[in-house]
Structure 1
Amino acid sequence: MIENLAEKLSQNPRRWLIVTGVTFVLALAIVLPQVDHLIAERSERAELLEQLAQANETAKRLPLYEQRIAEKASELAGLRDREIDDDEVAELRTWLVDAARQAGCRVRRIELSNPNERSWTDDDHPLSTPTPAKSNAKTPFRLRTRPVAFSVTGSSDEVMALLRTIDEDTRLKHTRTLDLKPVGRKTNELQLDLTLWFFALSSSQGVA
């Protein structure tokens, strides 16, 4: 059968046109898959080059990221040093008593209460009151507020010296109330009643 086709083809006056057409079809059958493969390879190569360029840009920015992380870690460590946690309550009490005595004041009363806790939200403030509108902006932290009631007596200079010492202390705190009144009509001694709030953030997952 093949011999008959070959014989008919050789006798056909348009045999060169037929041969050319068949050759072209065969060429397309061979070349087209190779072209598709080449296009796929070039596309993959372009994608890899783009990924490599992005990786190089990220690598260039890595020192900047590391610097920013180090700066934030330093800031966080500084804030941690200014917090009052349960292990530092006794130290805080001792510091307040010593500060009063060094200023020349007499301590009448000092009371460190248990801390109050609430959820800490984005853009929060220690003195703000939580509202339902902020319930969706909670962070994994809780704000701990420890009230400290402190009452001393002393001269006006002694009381002012104590207040300056407390104000210069860098612990995270807020003066909630301050009441200053004379002890008696015939004395220059004053009584200072002070309520301080000391703050700390604790992790709601149990890791500070």
Structure 2
Amino acid sequence: MNKEKRRLILERLRENNPNPQTELNWSTPFELLIAVLLSAQATDVSVNKATDKLYPVANTPQGLLDLGVDGVKEYIKTIGLFNSKAENVIKTCKILLEQHGGEVPEDRAALEALPGVGRKTANVVLNTAFGWPTIAVDTHIFRVANRTKLAMGKNVDQVEEKLLKVVPKEFKLDVHHWLILHGRYTCVARKPRCGSCIIEDLCEFKEKVYPEN
């Protein structure tokens, strides 16, 4: 795919959604961090249902620490892998209090050192909470980038590296949200909705799927 076509794709996605937002509910960097940590192998909808009940009770590192592992589990038990996630939440809260004054650090290395927080989670927090031009590649973005040929790679790290290289600076802040939403609602895994896709004519996917007449 050439850079002119890439720019057209990004311009269309921007025109369609000028101010894209995460679908996770959050009001502070800490709430976002915990929500993203909980969202691994879970839907944003399921995470929101849990945090909508949890955050009014406890939405600070000390608040969650006071609930304890079992207390956190009660609120997140509808989410996949809730046992290990509850453990990671409590460990993360302890580190934030002991090493960062209870604040979420605006630092990649410090974020990735938190239990349950990998590169993808750190990228989401840096991008969404702090406005960094990072690109968090999840399964949706990996699929869309490869399928459209916007940025091809054999793994998420390769796709992230390629996107950072080929996406012009003006689009970097929002491209993560555009691609994840496109993958979630249009360029879905099993049967992409090519007939209703706003970039269908620019996409280089050879096996396009259209609804039967």
TM-score interval (norm. to shorter): under 0.3
Computing the radius of gyration from Cα coordinates, the structure with the larger value is: 1
What TM-score, normalized to structure 1? 0.24
Normalised to the residue count of structure 2, the TM-score between the two structures is: 0.23
